[in-house]
Structure 1
């Protein structure tokens, strides 16, 4: 079934995990002709143990006359051989004398037409003939019940969700045993019509019936239920259902979705732990996913793990060695107090950048590690490339590097530039006083 454009990506992946299983009512004809009650399409629900008082009883039983039975036997031979075009030819021949058929016999004729057209994947014609079945006055329980259910499913295939819901409701009115699957199918129809309230009512009915008996609902029931709650914006319920999915149907995709929902709820630690599980399972194979996990680790003050994830991702060719990504890696190593690894990564990041800001930051790292000459070199490159976000901070770094090298006059000039920015004025003036004092002391000593 095609999904409508409004269905979100999260939902699109799991809404209808299992295909709709059609059960053409035509297969019941021979059993009926022998006086046996055929299994209807809905009878599969009996195995769920859903017991209800019968809502519908046939007042009169009908049967096929011997000549008519022989006619249908010819069709059955073709269908048993999967010769659907041949079956259609036989049906067309039979139809020529159908004026003498009873209403019940016509109903079975139309039923065969519906089955054959369905098998030929001509669903509009199949629906038309199944509609003719329902229109006949003489109809057995099994034929009416099976036909209504089959029509509902075919309408789902045709994306006629309103029609499918209508037929399914008619089926539920006369089906003696209605199981949870029917409520799921109804919920799917309402979901496609964006009627989330009715969708929720029906999917909850199905799930609760199973859970109340200690049984585990099918996976696609949970995913539909989760999808409805997601559309209604109930993130807490989505998280609750994802926990059930992980308990009964553990998959990496559900861990990913759980991480995303925790993120939407602002539960960063739970978001991190859920995504880390996926990483440890080896199921994070995209750059964005790995970087997201690294950012989460950095946000929770675990920079070492962040650095290791990015480093491993780059070696595997998953994370591209862009200026931005290298900068994040350098920052992670620096926060992890591993300057030896931080500096080379920041150098590569700065070289790849077309602006001078990373060189300005690199100058600060060099200064912190007493590499004053390199700090001055990085600062010069930063000025040359331009695009520095905080020139005043770079000027402070260059001033301090010059002061550490005993170049007080040059240091004072840099501090004076920085003092023009009010954000660095106080700090710059303190350094100016210090540099002037050291310069005066140096001159007095004749150095």
Structure 2
């Protein structure tokens, strides 16, 4: 049961993370940005033409219309006028024009046109390398947002072909996201692992989103040990309640139930075990690790607080926990509540057994009768056996023998019923002889 719930829990996390980690930077183009582009150190072999001031002034006028006046249509119209004269423009000027187009379309949330415009930027050659690389990276981000994962990888690889230095972790993470969304999990694993390892080697803490992505990738690759290791890191670095619960679930997946219980207990002490599902899971762990009293107290408090519903499943398990804890006075009323909600006689039969053990014979017979009336029990002969034993203890030997005969008719209870019949018959005979002797005196 714990494994199934963990799988559900882990499946929900896997499908939710991918789109949440993409952030497209601002694409504002300013005079200073242009100046920086012109000052950027390019490869010696790439000669870039100059952006003439009269062209920039027209582009800036479009940006002003979009930014200050908020008139997108006017801004686009100005740029189209510039575009009509593009035959007289050099590659750098055309690239800047399409960059302005892309910026305006992006801010207007017209992402298809923004992509088309930015792709035209990198089609113009030659342009400054830094300008080209910045645009390629933005294109990769935008394509990821639009679900074009193969195009994301394509533009990142074009960026890498120009780059002469170390690939930054953010690029590797973006590539890992694209591979993950494209269901190429092995490739995604390699890139996210590189990003995290290199970042940590520089003494930096990995971003929480990176670790979430890495965990999802390992989960898809069916590598639970690695999923657990990432969750350990998430717990240490970010200590979110959900990570504690998920880590406990992964220990359960790996068959390390003691660690699972230890993590859940620690989470509970920190106030992280709050939902009905998590409370029930912890109660189950207590039960399976022979600490039913703790589990019963936990469930009882949760029911009193209204967190845990007093339904058939919960009441039945609470009663079983009190029973295993040898707290029969607490178990009996809870099991009776559960029996009232049950349509079959199984729980009533369990109540009858407990009452017999507690020597509450009349109540045991009543519970057994309720079980017989409902029926649908795994061992129907058991309740007749319980009735027979209860009647024997009440010294109603003849009635006891009748019930034991009923028990003998069922396969599962036949052997024990025969033994009890012999014993009760012997006791009955002895009691009758003693009564006859007393009458003779």
State whether structure 2 residue 256 is matched by structure 1 residue 267.
yes
1:225-264 map, 5 Å: 225-264=214-253
State whether structure 2 residue 340 is matched by structure 1 residue 351.
yes
Q: 2:52 aligns with which of 50, 65, 81?
A: 65
Match of 2:65 in 1: 78
State whether structure 2 residue 330 is matched by structure 1 residue 330.
no
State whether structure 2 residue 381 is matched by structure 1 residue 392.
yes
Distance 1:14 1:130, change over 3 A: closer
Encode CA deviations 1:111-147: one digit per residue, 9 max, x unaligned. Answer: 1111111111111111111122222223112221121
Match of 2:310 in 1: 321
Distance 1:367 1:173, change over 3 A: same
Q: 2:351 aligns with which of 362, 367, 371?
A: 362
Distance in structure 2 (CA, Å) of the matches to 1:12 and 1:84: 39
Distance 1:29 1:12, change over 3 A: farther
SS in 2 for 1:423: helix
Encode CA deviations 1:145-200: one digit per residue, 9 max, x unaligned. Answer: 12111111111111111011100111122134421110000010001111111111
Match of 2:439 in 1: none
State whether structure 2 residue 303 is matched by structure 1 residue 342.
no
Q: Which moved more, 1:258-267 or 1:183-192?
A: 258-267
SS in 2 for 1:214: coil
State whether structure 2 residue 160 is matched by structure 1 residue 172.
yes
Match of 2:289 in 1: 300
State whether structure 2 residue 98 is matched by structure 1 residue 110.
yes
How far did residue 35 of structure 1 move? 7.4
Q: Would the aligned equivalents of 1:84 and 1:119 in 2 still touch at CA under 8 Å? A: no
Give the aligned CA root-mean-square deviation in angstroms: 2.2
Match of 1:21 in 2: 24
Q: 2:277 aligns with which of 275, 288, 291?
A: 288
Match of 1:150 in 2: 138
Distance in structure 2 (CA, Å) of the matches to 1:312 and 1:74: 68
Distance 1:75 1:103, change over 3 A: same
Give aligned pairs, total.
425
Q: 1:208 aligns with which of 197, 205, 212?
A: 197
Match of 1:45 in 2: none
Distance in structure 2 (CA, Å) of the matches to 1:58 and 1:139: 12
Distance in structure 1 (CA, Å) of the matches to 2:405 and 2:69: 93
Q: Which moved more, 1:410-419 or 1:291-300?
A: 410-419
Distance 1:80 1:100, change over 3 A: same
Match of 1:162 in 2: 150
SS in 1 for 2:435: coil
Q: Which has the higher contact order (CA 8 A, sep 6+)?
A: 1
State whether structure 2 residue 426 is matched by structure 1 residue 423.
no
Q: 1:224 aligns with which of 213, 225, 228?
A: 213
Encode CA deviations 1:51-110: one digit per residue, 9 max, x unaligned. Answer: xxx995552132122322322232343355273513223212322333322222112111
How far did residue 342 of structure 1 move? 0.8
How far did residue 400 of structure 1 move? 0.8
Distance 1:127 1:35, change over 3 A: closer
Distance in structure 2 (CA, Å) of the matches to 1:158 and 1:29: 30
Match of 2:5 in 1: none
Q: Which has the higher helix share?
A: 2
Distance in structure 1 (CA, Å) of the matches to 2:153 and 2:416: 74
Distance 1:16 1:274, change over 3 A: farther
Q: Which moved more, 1:13-22 or 1:300-309?
A: 13-22
TM-score by length of 2: 0.90
Q: 1:10 aligns with which of 5, 10, 13?
A: 13
Q: Which moved more, 1:207-216 or 1:394-403?
A: 207-216
How far did residue 421 of structure 1 move? 3.3
